[in-house]
Structure 1
Amino acid sequence: MKKLVLSIAMVAAASLAFGQKKVVREAEKGFKSGDLQTALTAIEGATTNPETSGDPATFLLKAQIQTKIFGADTENTMETVEVGAQAVSTFNKAFEMAGSNKTSSVGKAVYAEELPGIPDNLRPYSLFTLKNLAFDKALEKYNEEDLEMSYEFFNLAGEIDKTDSTIHYNAGFLANDLGRFEDAKRHFGYLFELPTYNKTNAYYFMVQILSTEEKNPEAAFELVTKAREEYPNDKVLAEYEIQLLLQLNKMDEAMAQIKDALANDPNNSGLLLRSGYLKEQAGDLNGALEDYKKSVAVDPNFFEGNYYTGALLLEQATKELNTLNDLSDAEWEKQSPIVGKKADANYNESITYFSKALEIKPDNTDIMIILYQVYSRLKKTAEMEAMNKKIAAILGPNWQDN
C-alpha cells in the first residue's frame, strides 16, 4: 500500500511538472504567433512555479516576450520605456541564473548579435534586439520633436550597451539640451572610457556644463587640461583653456596660452579679443586696442570685437580728459583744446565700432544710449535726436529718467 501511495505521488509530481512545461510551451507558442499577452501571462506563471522558476531558459523566454511587446508598442510613452526596462532586468536575471556565462546556451541567446535589416521572424530577440528597438524609437520621437521621450529611449538603449558611442553621444546631447546635466555628464562619462573614440565634442559639452551650469571653473579647468593632453592641437579646447584661466585669474598662464594659440591660428577673432582683454587688464591700452581692432578686421561682424574696441576708445578719451583735472588754470587753458581734440578723435572713432555693434544687435538699447551720449558730447544734434527716437520707441519717452 505504501508503495502504491508513493507511485501515485510520483505520477502526480510528474504530471505537475509536465503541466508547467506545457505552460512554457504555450508561452513559446504565443511568442511566435504574436499572441503576446497570452504568452506573457503563461510565462509569468512559469517564473513563479517551483518546477520551472529555477530554469534560466524560462526567464530568457519572458525577456524575449517583453522585448517583442516593447517593439510592438507604437504609443512610445513612458509605459513603453518601463516595459523595455523590465525586459532588461529579466534578461539580466536569466544571464545571472546561467552563471553569467556568455558561452552557455542562455548566455549566447541573451547576447546574440542582430544583423542590420534582418526580418522580424529571424530576429534573435536578444538584449541587442531590445537595444536596436529602443534606438529606433528614440529616432522616431526625435523626428517628432519629442525630445524628452527621445532621450528616454536613447537612455534605455544606453543602459544595455555602455560602449555604443552613437547612443551615448545622442543621449548626452539631448540631456544637456533638456537641462538634465547630471544625465548628460553620465553619458559623456561613458564616452570618455572608450579608448578609440574621438572625445572632443564630449569634452566641449562637459566643460560648458562644469563652468557655466555648475559654476565650477576649477573642475572645468582640470577637465580641459586633461583633454588638451589628449588633443593638444584642438583649437576649441585651447580657447576653453584660456577662457578658464581668465576666470581663475591666472593671467600670466592665460597670456602664454594665447600667444601659443595665436601662433597656430593668427586670424582667430576670439583669441585676439582675449589677448586684447589681457593687455587691457595689464594696463597696455594701446596693445589692447590694437588686438581688438585686429579681431574686427578678421571678422567685421564680430559683435564683441566691435563693442570692446568702441568701449576702449571711450575709456582712452575719458583718461585723456581726466588729465586736465590736475593742471593749473593757465596750463588748463593751454592744454584743453589739444587734449579735447584728441579725446574727440577717439569719440568719433568709437562711433564706427558702436554703430557696427548696433547693426549686429539692432535692439541693444545699451549701445543706443552710448551712441546718444557720444553724439551729445560731439554736438551731433541730428544724430542725437534720431537715436533718442529709437531709444524712446523701446524704453519710452522718459527713458532718461530711469
Structure 2
Amino acid sequence: MKQALTLGIFSFFSISSFAQSGEVTNAILAQKDGMLLDAKTSIDKASEHEKTKNDTKTWYYKGKIYEAIALDPTLGKQNSDAAKIAFDSYTKAQQLDETAEKPGKYKKDLTEAFASQSLAVAIQNGGIQAYQDKKLSDAYDYFTIYQTIKPLDTLGYVYAAQMALAKDDYKNAKEAYTKGMTKTGYISPEILTNLLYIYKTVESEKDLNKALEIARLGKSKYPNNANFVNQEVDILEKSGKLTEAITNLESIIQKGDKKVENYLLLGSLYEKNKELDKAKESYRSALAVNPNSFEANYNMGALIYNPAVDIIKTVRNMGVSDYQKKGKQMEAQAKEVIKISLPYFEKAYEVKSNDFTTKKTLKEIYASLGMTDKANALK
C-alpha cells in the first residue's frame, strides 16, 4: 500500500510535468495553425509553471508568439504590450541559454530573433501606438528597446528623445540625443537646437560649457545656419566672455561671412561693451549689405537718438539758473542729434509700418523737431 502510494505520487508529478511541457508544444502548434490566442494561453501557462518557467525553450517561443501577436493588425491593438513582452521573453531566453548546463543551444535562434526586421517593426509600432495613446513613458521605453535592436538606426534615439522631451524628462532626452550622435554619427540642426535648449535653459541640466560645445559643433556642421553663430555668441556673453564673443564674430566676418545678421549681432555686442563708435560702424556695414534692413535702420537710429533723449531729460531736471546758463544750448545740441537719427527711423517705418515702437518713436521725433503735420499723420 505504501509502495502504491509512492508510485501514485511519482506518477502525478510526472504527468504534471509532462502536461506543462505539453503546453509549450500546444503553443507552438497553435501558432503554426494561426491560432495566436490559443498559443498565448498555452505559453503563458508554461512560463508560469514551476517545471517549465526556467526553460529556455519556453521563453524563446513566448517571444515568437508575442511577436506574432504584436504584428497582427487586430490582436496587436488588443495587446498593446505584446511587442515589449516579446523582447523581454527573448531576453529571458538568452539569459537562461547562457547559464544552461549546455549553453548556446538557442544562441543562433535568439541572435536571429533579435536581429529580425519583424521584431524591430513590432517594437517601432508599439512605440507609435503608445504615443498615440498618450502613454509617453511606454513610448519612451519602446524606442529605447529599439536602440538595442537597431543600434545604428537614428529612429530609436531621436524618437526616444522626443518622448522624453514631451514629458519634460530632460535628462533622458539629453542622453538619448547624445548616445544617438555617438552611435550613428547623425547630427541634425534639430537635435543640436534641442540640446542647446536643455543645456542653456533647463535648470537641472544647465551646463554652459556643454552648450558652447554644442553651438560650436553646430557652427562647424552647418556654417550657413546663423542660429549656431548666434548661440555661441550668446553663451559666451552669458559666461562673461563678451570680448571673446566679439573676437569670434569679427573673425567670422573677416573670413567672408558678411551677412547682415552678423553685423547686427556684432553691433549689439559692441553696444553692450560700451564701444558705441564700433557699434555704429557695424550697423553701417549692415546697411551697406542691405539698406532696407529694418533692424539695421532701427538700431542705428536708436543708437544715435538715445543720447539725445538723455540730454533732454537732463535739461528738464535743471533748475532755472542752470537752464539759463546752458539749457538752451543743450536743447539745440539734442535737436541736431535727433535730426541725424530721423532718416534711419523713417526708413525703418517704411520697411515695417506696423511696428508700434518705431511708429511711437518717429512721432516723438517729429513733435520734438516741430514737424507737427508729420507727427499728426502718424495715428
| TM > 0.5 | yes
1:275 matched to 2:266: yes
- TM-score w.r.t. length of structure 2: 0.77
Change (3 A) 1:383 1:21: farther
Amino acid of the residue matched to residue 134 of structure 1?
A: I
Q: 2:364 aligns with which of 373, 376, 397?
A: 373
- 1:397 aligns with none
- 2:340 aligns with 345
Amino acid of the residue matched to residue 210 of structure 2?
A: E
Amino acid of the residue matched to residue 84 of structure 1?
A: A
CA distance in 1, matches of 2:117, 2:271: 58
- 2:95 aligns with 96
Change (3 A) 1:226 1:10: same
Amino acid of the residue matched to residue 94 of structure 2?
A: F
| CA distances 1:114-164 after superposition (whole Å, capped 9, x unpaired) | xxxxxxxxxx5877533322324656899xxx5956995465133232533
Q: 1:166 aligns with which of 138, 155, 165?
A: 155
CA distance in 2, matches of 1:208, 1:160: 25
Change (3 A) 1:315 1:7: same
1:263 matched to 2:254: yes
Equivalent pair of 2:124/2:146 in contact (CA under 8 Å): no
CA distance in 2, matches of 1:76, 1:317: 72
1:222 matched to 2:210: yes
- 1:286 aligns with 277
SS of 1:371's equivalent?
helix
SS of 2:183's equivalent?
coil
Equivalent pair of 1:59/1:90 in contact (CA under 8 Å): yes
Q: Which runs of 5+ in 2 are unaligned?
A: none
TM-superposed deviation, 1:74 = 5.3
User: % of aligned pairs identical?
Assistant: 19
TM-superposed deviation, 1:251 = 1.2
| CA distances 1:150-204 after superposition (whole Å, capped 9, x unpaired) | 9954651332325332321243246446755344223213224327444765333
Equivalent pair of 1:23/1:43 in contact (CA under 8 Å): yes
Amino acid of the residue matched to residue 205 of structure 1?
A: N
Amino acid of the residue matched to residue 159 of structure 1?
A: I
Equivalent pair of 2:267/2:283 in contact (CA under 8 Å): yes
- 1:395 aligns with none
Equivalent pair of 1:171/1:187 in contact (CA under 8 Å): yes
Q: 2:123 aligns with which of 125, 130, 134?
A: 134
RMSD of Structure 2 on Structure 1 (CA): 4.0
CA distance in 1, matches of 2:222, 2:301: 31
Between 1:86-95 and 1:18-27, the stretch displaced more is: 86-95
CA distance in 1, matches of 2:111, 2:288: 59
| CA distances 1:346-402 after superposition (whole Å, capped 9, x unpaired) | 13422322543x35xx3x5444433333333344444434443xxxxxxxxxxxxxx
- TM-score w.r.t. length of structure 1: 0.74
CA distance in 1, matches of 2:377, 2:32: 78
- 2:174 aligns with 185
Change (3 A) 1:27 1:184: same
- 1:38 aligns with 38
**Equivalent residues in 2 for 1:1-400, closer than 5 Å:** 9-73=9-73, 81-99=80-98, 104-112=104-112, 129-136=118-125, 146=132, 148=134, 153=139, 155-162=141-148, 163=151, 164-173=153-162, 175-176=164-165, 179-194=168-183, 196-198=185-187, 201-214=190-203, 219-225=207-213, 228=216, 232=220, 234-235=222-223, 237-295=228-286, 297-298=288-289, 304-318=295-309, 329=324, 336-337=331-332, 339-356=334-351, 358-359=352-353, 362=354, 364-388=355-379
Amino acid of the residue matched to residue 286 of structure 1?
A: D
Change (3 A) 1:239 1:314: same
Change (3 A) 1:140 1:70: closer
Equivalent pair of 1:47/1:58 in contact (CA under 8 Å): yes
Q: Which runs of 5+ in 1 are unaligned?
A: 113-123, 389-402
CA distance in 2, matches of 1:14, 1:301: 92
TM-superposed deviation, 1:99 = 1.9
SS of 1:34's equivalent?
coil
SS of 1:369's equivalent?
helix
Change (3 A) 1:383 1:148: farther
Change (3 A) 1:369 1:86: farther
TM-superposed deviation, 1:46 = 0.5
SS of 2:299's equivalent?
helix
Equivalent pair of 1:20/1:52 in contact (CA under 8 Å): yes
Equivalent pair of 2:300/2:344 in contact (CA under 8 Å): no
Amino acid of the residue matched to residue 191 of structure 1?
A: G
SS of 1:194's equivalent?
helix
Change (3 A) 1:316 1:230: closer
Equivalent pair of 1:238/1:261 in contact (CA under 8 Å): no
